[in-house]
Every structure is written in C-alpha cells, then in structure tokens.
Structure 1
Amino acid sequence: MMDTPPPRWRVVANLRYLRALIKRFRITLVLTALLFLGAPPLFQWRCEVPGGEPVGAGKALHHVYFLLFGQPSLDCSNDWMGILLNMLVPPVGIALVVDGVVRFAYLFFAKHKSDKEWIEVIAETLKGHIIVCGAGRVGFRVVDQLRSMGKDVVVVEKKEDAAFVNVLRDEQVPLLIDDIRSPQCLPRLNVKAASAIVCSTDDDLANLNIALDARRLNPNIRVVIRLFDDDLVAKVRDTFKAEALSSSSLAAPAMALAALDPRIVHSFRVCGHLMVVSIFEARTGLPGITVSEIRDRFGTLALSLRRGDKEILHPQGDQRVQAGDLLTLQAEYRDYRQLRAFTGETQPPLWGQHDMAFLPPSGERPTGTG
C-alpha cells in the first residue's frame, strides 16, 4: 500500500495548483477585474437615478453585476455612452465569467475530477517530476517506490479499467486517461520539465514510441524502458542511450536461485557477477567475529544486523556478532556458498523446514523482479 501524503504536502500541492491556475487564467482574471472596477465609475459618470441624484459606487457595481444576467438596475437611455455600455457589458462579461471565472472555480474546487485539463494544470505545477506510462502491476509498483522516496509522479494509462487506476486515484496520484501515443499526451504531462520517464506498458512498440517522443520533446530526460524482447534490450541501450530492462532477464536469476536455495531473498547481476542477498542466523562460526572479519574473509557486505527487536542498518566493521543475531549479507554467489560452508549450512533446507527468521518481517520473500 502506498504511503498517504502528509497534510502539509497537500497544502503545498494546493498552493502550487492555485498558482498554476492563476498563471493560466491571468488574462481572464485581469479583464474581469477591469470590468468590475472600471465599468462602475463610467456608469456613475453617465447615468442618474430617478430624481437626478448621482449614482453611488455600490449602485453602479450592482448595476454591472445584474447587467451580466440581462437585468439592468439603472436607466441610461438618455445617454449614448450609457446605452453603448449596456450593450457591451453583457456579452463581454458573460464571456469572461462563464468561460473564465467559472472554469477557474471548477478546476480548483473539483480537483478530484480526472479530466485532461485538470491533469494538465497539475503537471504544470511540477518540475523534475517522473512520468510513469502504464497503470498495471509494474507501473503501480514503480509509482509506489518513487512516492515512498518523496518524488513527484504523474501517471498515464490508456484504459480506464486498468488494474490499478482506481487505487492510484484513491491515493491522489495525478493520472491521465489518454492514448499514450497521442501527440498531445506527453505535453499534457509537462514532459519538458520532467526528469525521467518510465515506459512500463505491456507493449514493446508502444514503449519505444513513447521513449522516442519523450526524448524528442526533452533531449535531457532519463528514459527507462520495459521490454519483453531480450534481443531489443542491448540494442536500445547502445543506440538509444536509455536504460532498457527485460522482465525475463530480471526474473531469471531470482527464480533459478529460489529453486536451488530458499535462503536467498534477492539476487541481481553486476558486470556479469551474480550477487545474492541472504539472511544468516549467527550459529556455528559467526558468533564472536566482527563484521569486518566476515567481509575480509568472504567478500560479503553486511547490510543489516538484527539483535532482538533492534536492527542496525550498515553495522560498523568493529561490531562483534553475537549468537542469535540475524545478519543480512550481500555477496557473490560463490562467496555465499563458501560462507554457508563455514557456518555448517552447505545444503539448503527443504521448503517449510528452514527457520522462518530467514524471511523478511512481512513473511513475503522478495524476488529480483520487484
């Protein structure tokens, strides 16, 4: 589940949104102000109330307001300028109020509406944001991860009934329902000010088209592409200078190692080296030695040390391991096997028979695909 934005974040977002609306409707707002500030003095000058008394400022403003609805409250039939003003104010005022002020108020007070204009205004308030294309499982997880790191995210999805559309809306994530390959789609998302775009739809061709359009509109944008065709990954990286990821290549190491050893909770490759992450319970061999000694002897990196209810992230090298400690260690697969042999745990246990302490607190074993 996504983290709910704090109240302060919502206030800041509303202020940024209001500023963007004022900037967008500045001409309309200026003309409306001129209408209600400039027209009343003219009616005071040219018109009179019955009995020849001068027109007060409140009466003139009242006349301008109701003139918009075709209900004048002053008689200016004996003055040509008054007649002209009575003819011009209604159409000009209605055009300003109906097309401008009413639309401004609608966009501000109906932000929960997911229309394209609202999303476009929201995107205008952002700078350095990340665009995520696709509201499927991968896109949802990408958005969840980015928001947990405090990043501004805008999502675009073609289908209204996509898997996580309603979830994203409930979490107040700006989400545009539009054809991603539409010429106006990326400009609506303010792609020129975006820092990165993640193309995570289930269509390789669509992902490539989106990436090309984004790079054309913003040459400096970082592009991450999800591809199903492994043959395209290397080509896209070399020729397009983008980060291309294949779901199958990411999942393969994790699935293979999960079949071999359930104690491995994560795996990935670095320059051809297969790296694994596993949780070790300090039993045989580990108690009494320091974190730096484990690193020097087995080439492992200690990610965390859990002792009772206390967990230390990146423990110091002089931290001495005690019996019962849980160490999350990262190592090359070959070094991992050597360390397992050192602790007397060469053979992996059968699934269901190994200590559940090796699993994360949630009880779910992460994979390499995210």
Structure 2
Amino acid sequence: MMHTHTSPLRPSPRRRLAINLRYFWALLRRFRTTLMLTAVLFLGAPPLFQWRCEVPGGEPVPAGKALQHVYFLLFGQPSLDCSNDWMGIALNMLIPPVGIALVVDGVVRFAYLFFAKHKSDKEWIEVIAETLKGHVIVCGAGRVGYRVVDQLRAMGKDVVVVEKREDGAFVGVLRDEQVPLLIDDIRSPQCLPRTNVKAASAIVCATDDDLANLNIALDARRFNPSIRVVIRLFDDDLVAKVRDTFKAEALSSSSLAAPAMALAALDPRIVHSFRIGRHLMVVSVFEARTGLPGTSISEVRDRFGALTLALRRGDTEKLHPSGDERMQTGDLVTMQAEYSDYRRLRAFTGEAQPPIWSDNETAFQLPADSKRTGTD
C-alpha cells in the first residue's frame, strides 16, 4: 500500500501572530541586558550633555540636540563642543566604542534575528526552541526521521529536527513545512542545548550511525534525566542491551522490517504486521463475499479473534464499527488478528491460499484450489 503524504495545515493568521509574539518575547528576554544598556545610553547620556556642555553662544543644550549628539557619537561624529569639560570629553571618548558594541552586536542583531528568521540559522532555531515545552527532538532528517516528524506533527506535537547535512534529501521539504530545523553536528557540545533539550519530553535518535545515536541518547539524558529516549539501531545485538541497561526504547530497523517483508512475500493482502511479545499480529483488508455477509462484527471477533478496525460501505467508512453491525456483500473490512487466526479467517471466506498475479499482471486472482480448503 502506497503512503500518500499530506502536509499539515498551515498555521492560521492568529496562530502565526501568536508564534511571532512568542518569538519576539523570547528575543526580548535573550537581549534584555543589551536593550537595557541601550536604553540607559539614550536616556541617561543626553541629560549629562545638557548639564556639562553648551551650544555656541553659551545657551543651554536642548534635549533634542543632546539626544542627536549621542546618536551621532555612535558613528564618531560629535555635534556638541564639550572640550572645556572633563566629563563631556570622557563621554565623547567612551560612548563611540561602547555604543557601537551595544548597537551593532545587540540592537542590529536583535532586528536581524526577528526579520530574517526564515533563514533558519542556528540562533533562530535556538530562540524558537526556547518557546517550546514538551516538544520532541528528532535527530536525523533522512527517510525514517522525516516519517517520524510527519507522524508527530499529524498528532499535533511540536517538533525540532537536527540534521548535519545542509543538502539532506528532506531538508527543503521540512523548511517548506515550517518545521524548526537545525543544521549542526549533533555531537557538538552546543547542539542539544540549542534544541531546548531540558524542556523536551522525548528525543528520537534516527541517524544512520549507531554510535552517534548512542552518544546523542547519553547526552540527552545528561541534560534531561527524565527525557524519553527512542533509539534506532542497526545492530540487533545492541537492542536488548540498550533496553536493559539504559532504560530506553531501542528499535532495530531489520527486526521491524523482517516480519513485514516475510509476510508480504507469503501474502500480499497483508498491509501491516507487528509483534506483541511472541505474537505476530497482522492487518489485512477483507472483501465480504463468502462467509462474511450477514455476520456481525462481534461474531467475527469471538470466533476468530479478529478486531475490526474499519468498515467501508460504498463511499462511507466507519472506524471501529459497533459489535452489532452486520456485514453486507461488497463491504471492505480492515481487520487485525494474530497470524494463525488470520489464516483461519481467510479459510472461512474461501481464500485459504494467497492470490496470484493474473497473466496481464494488473490484478489478483485466486488459485482454483483455494476455495474451502481449510487452513493451509
């Protein structure tokens, strides 16, 4: 079954306004020292110049003239003559370097971060992450990482993604979908703090490097001991060890894919499979033709142990139909059952054998001896 990706809805104007306000407030908190010193400079220095300096002719310095003098001092262009006063001379010498440092490194940087946030640089991602709480960090923006992000966003969860390669296959897609994406080496000391890992609820280590995934998990636990850790591993021998000693959810790509691939080779009607302990569970779609029409949902459950997930009748589809719902000819029923129970149910519907390809390879057809043959 082909997965069709549907992008999440774009934020509404109200939601975008709220995000920008949160971002602006986060910037204010981050640059509060710089902004306070800038305010002190422009509010405190002009009265001093009014007190200690004079305009030509000995007249008092107007407030506007003093403010203008402070502004032009930032560019090394004084507009007042304070050569006869030691305090005025000292201020004229101190304000240019101090003011330039405040304005260039503070105010200009503040404005740049706010208006150029679409560039997704490290500082922008760090500030955005500071506005999040209980979010999930996904390390690795490959196929697995992207699908994890897609699923989490579909469930309404805030996500921050870390990817080391600017030219990654899904980097452009994630940015188009306005997902906070940090391009950085996940093993660098400042990487995880930029994602606000201390306030995150979980981290998914989905890179293609087992050692890197383990390092990420250890660093995340060091910053946030209560964070939930999910690790993708290629080495099956490490999975059990990590689960037991590290108390993390470790998943092996091969062990997850093996049941699905094996069952797909045996029966292409199986659309999904997974294990619960030692039980192999499968999900398949049945068309009510033989046996099922007239049977209720609860009767199928009690007799075969199959749970009905969805029932499609014409253009209408019901999720989790009620137990007294009776199937009609032509209904498409999605069921979940243990593999042995699934085989019994297929035998009950006259489809004990998996379908084979027809000559034109465009449709399935049942083998001639598959009708009412019992379990295979």
Normalised by the length of structure 2, the TM-score is 0.90
Q: CA RMSD in A?
A: 1.7
Q: For residue 58 of structure 1, what is the aligned residue in structure 2?
A: 64
Deviation, structure 1 residue 169: 2.1
Query: Are 1:353 and 2:359 counterparts?
Result: no
CA contact (8 A) 1:4 1:171 kept: no
Q: For residue 101 of structure 2, what is the aligned residue in structure 1?
A: 95
Query: Are 1:130 and 2:136 counterparts?
Result: yes
Alignment-mate amino acid for residue 173 of structure 1: V
Question: In 2, distance between residues paired with 1:60 and 1:182?
Answer: 48
Correspondence 1:214-363 to 2 at 5 A: 214-351=220-357, 352-354=362-364
Greater alpha carbon shift after TM alignment, 182-191 vs 273-282 = 182-191
CA contact (8 A) 1:28 1:96 kept: yes
Question: In 1, distance between residues paired with 2:143 and 2:317?
Answer: 31
5+ residue gaps, structure 2, are 366-376
1:40 to 29, 46, 60: 46
1:163 to 162, 165, 169: 169
Alignment-mate amino acid for residue 163 of structure 2: E
5+ residue gaps, structure 1, are 356-370
Query: Are 1:21 and 2:27 counterparts?
Result: yes
User: For residues 199-238 of structure 1, what are the alpha-carbon distances to aligned partners after superposition, in whole Å with 9 as ceiling and x for unaligned?
Assistant: 1111111111111111122111111111111111111111
Query: Are 1:3 and 2:8 counterparts?
Result: yes
SS in structure 1 at match of 2:119: coil
Deviation, structure 1 residue 324: 1.5
Alignment-mate amino acid for residue 209 of structure 1: N
Greater alpha carbon shift after TM alignment, 2-11 vs 222-231 = 2-11
Question: In 2, distance between residues paired with 1:330 and 1:118?
Answer: 45
Deviation, structure 1 residue 304: 0.9
Aligned residues: 355
User: For residues 116-174 of structure 1, what are the alpha-carbon distances to aligned partners after superposition, in whole Å with 9 as ceiling and x for unaligned?
Assistant: 22222222222111111111111111111111111111111222222222222222222
Correspondence 1:147-186 to 2 at 5 A: 147-186=153-192
Q: For residue 143 of structure 1, what is the aligned residue in structure 2?
A: 149
Question: In 2, distance between residues paired with 1:268 and 1:98?
Answer: 57
CA contact (8 A) 1:227 1:233 kept: yes
Deviation, structure 1 residue 332: 0.7
Alignment-mate amino acid for residue 229 of structure 1: D
Alignment-mate amino acid for residue 61 of structure 1: L
SS in structure 1 at match of 2:282: strand
Greater alpha carbon shift after TM alignment, 99-108 vs 150-159 = 150-159
Correspondence 1:182-193 to 2 at 5 A: 182-193=188-199
Question: In 1, distance between residues paired with 2:151 and 2:127?
Answer: 24
SS in structure 2 at match of 1:112: helix
Question: In 2, distance between residues paired with 1:147 and 1:87?
Answer: 55
Deviation, structure 1 residue 259: 1.0
Deviation, structure 1 residue 3: 2.0
User: For residues 257-281 of structure 1, what are the alpha-carbon distances to aligned partners after superposition, in whole Å with 9 as ceiling and x for unaligned?
Assistant: 1111111111111111011111111
Alignment-mate amino acid for residue 353 of structure 1: A
